[in-house]
Amino acid sequence: MDYPLTQFSAEVTAAIAATGKVDPALIELTTPRANIPADLAFPAFKAAKALGVAPPQLAAELAAAIMPGGLIGAVEAAGPFLNFSMHPARSAAAVITAIHTLGPQYGHHGEGNGQRIVVDYSAPNIARRMHVGHIRSTIIGQAIVNIYRALGYQVIGDNHLGDWGTQFGTVISSIQRYGKPDAGGETAMEQLEAIYARYNNEMKAQAAAREQANAEGAAEPTFDPDLEAEARRWSLALEQGDPEARAIWQWCVDLTLTAAQRNYNRLGIRFDHAYGESFYEALLPGVITETLESGAAFRDADGSVVAELEKLPKFIIQRNDGGTVYMTRDIATVKFRLSEFDPTQIIYVVDGRQELHFRQLFAIMRAMNYAETVALVHIPFGIVTTPDGQPLSTRKGNMVYLESLLDEAVARARAVVERKSPELPEDEKTAVAEAVGVGAVVYNDLYQDPKRNITMDWERMLATDGNSATYLQYSHARCRSILRKAGEDGGVGQRMADPALLTHPAEQKLLKHLARLPDAVREAGERYAPFVIADWCYSSAREFGVFFEQCPVLKADTPDLRAARLALVEVTAQALANGLALLGITAPERM
């Protein structure tokens, strides 16, 4: 089924072509400026030039030749433009029918059918709490996954866990030295971070003592245990598959994933895979050989394997001690994903500070001829700051971690719910507070271009009347409450709604706006921009607010008008819930 706006634009194109006056190849339509009372325009310049006539003359001839019909309500020439307006009654019917028939599928497309896309997102590091960088990746990544699924693609979400690297020697060593954390969730991760830091400090103290002795010409002190040697030993043991090292590492992985899963559940995040960096370990020797043999990389004077491509700074693929790096595993990951999934795109949702890393990665994949059939895309995002613009940082002690962030959001949302809806039953209040709190955090990440920094400003995030998830959720709940009330008075569904009655300007504006969701979804995908959906949701809620203020629903002048308006309220709720779902935000029935 074609969406109403698609059908309208197809009818306009066909009507112009049917006049026989314009070469179909020259029919390009534009959206008129907001002050023009039309829905689609044909600028006649190119076609007029080809015919050797003045554009206003061609526009006038076409206007005379085209009869309104179907979704076309009026045709009018305005200087060099031919303006088309939708037929109010017929387009109202088309929009309401489309949303009503498709329900939760309204806004979805089939254009991606048969194509696969890999999205690499979240990717926290093992034995660490998820900080704002991973939070943003998780939320933006899931929205991208949802949007591409709605476009019909088969999307494979992969959580590329940071579970490998030399620092794990230190992690294992610190656990051996100070014992395993006894808590769960974020607290356990915090304890792991603490013993890691403590181990590092002691290790530095040993190094400093050694240096001082050297400077003084004294005998080098010996330590038992020598912490650095110990960490290196564990790192090597892990790499060589030593069972004890492996077991502790696995314990860390499980602990981290269990803690992360609690947050993922609250956020509605689901991955298809979480291979993680360690998964690629066995492939790395082959990858290094291949980078050299393909000529993409070379052996540097110090024995390391490096690449220097496309005027980008030189980067390491294998250290001169034989060790591999983050980049080596990312090269292996691309190769694996290509052979395993044959995707048309691999999308990385990763902190903007890794921009150079991805440019280098994509460059070496091109140099190795792997980027011919796949688009490699990095979606960078900005940092998170306090309301007065201070960046959050672990060093400054103002870092925000995911679990505590969600807990705080829900506690604050609870206060809003208590204030606004004291009559709700206890368990519903709990559920609504969870939806509102989590929604506020998610929306804060999605309502603007990901490249921009976001601020953690609770007032704005939980505002019931601004550009916030709370406001959108309220708008949806308000629609549902009207429908409930109508049901209680026995009104809804009893009378066939006639959309032709929806001729009030506020009704028409709302309808035309609802009609745009399918285009917004497509645009959000093309631009990797969930904020396009967020903008659509926000304007929908506002148009609904205007309609609600100007057009009484339950107290409409006639039962027929009431039925028609109820139908509009119902499709508004559905479309808004669909938009919010794409962002990963739930829409409670009552608030």
Residue nearer to ligand ARG on the CB measure, 160 or 562: 160
Least distance CB 193 / ligand ARG (angstroms): 14
Residues β-bridged to residue 155: 117
Least distance CB 235 / ligand ARG (angstroms): 18
Residue nearer to ligand ARG on the CB measure, 48 or 135: 135
Distances (CA, A) of 175 to 180, 226, 237, 308: 5, 15, 15, 39
SS3 159: coil
Q: Which residue is nearest to ligand ARG (CB)?
A: 162
Least distance CB 400 / ligand ARG (angstroms): 16
SS3 437: helix
SS3 76: strand
Is 542 in contact with 159 (CB distance < 8 Å)? no
Give the end-to-end CA distance of the chain in Å, rounded to a whole number. Answer: 35
Residue nearer to ligand ARG on the CB measure, 123 or 534: 123
Least distance CB 158 / ligand ARG (angstroms): 8
Residue nearer to ligand ARG on the CB measure, 71 or 376: 376
CB atoms within 10 A of CB 24: 10
| Residue 472: φ, ψ to 5° | -70, -40
Task: Tell which residue, 120, 148, 118, has the closest CA to residue 348.
Answer: 120
Residue nearer to ligand ARG on the CB measure, 160 or 478: 160
Residue nearer to ligand ARG on the CB measure, 168 or 474: 168
Residue nearer to ligand ARG on the CB measure, 280 or 447: 280
Least distance CB 215 / ligand ARG (angstroms): 37
Least distance CB 368 / ligand ARG (angstroms): 17
CA dihedral 197, 322, 312, 375 (to 10 degrees): -90
Q: Which residues bind ligand ARG (CB under 6 A)?
A: 120, 123, 125, 160, 162, 330, 333, 348, 350
User: Angle, to 10 degrees, between the axis of helix 505-514 and the axis of helix 530-550?
Assistant: 160
Is 140 in contact with 445 (CB distance < 8 Å)? yes
Least distance CB 228 / ligand ARG (angstroms): 24
Is 472 in contact with 541 (CB distance < 8 Å)? yes
Least distance CB 125 / ligand ARG (angstroms): 5
The residue written with tokens 């609802």 in the block is 514
Residue nearer to ligand ARG on the CB measure, 124 or 518: 124
Distances (CA, A) of 186 to 102, 407, 501, 571: 41, 12, 56, 41
- Burial of residue 571 (number of CB atoms within 10 Å: 0-12, 13-18, 19+): buried
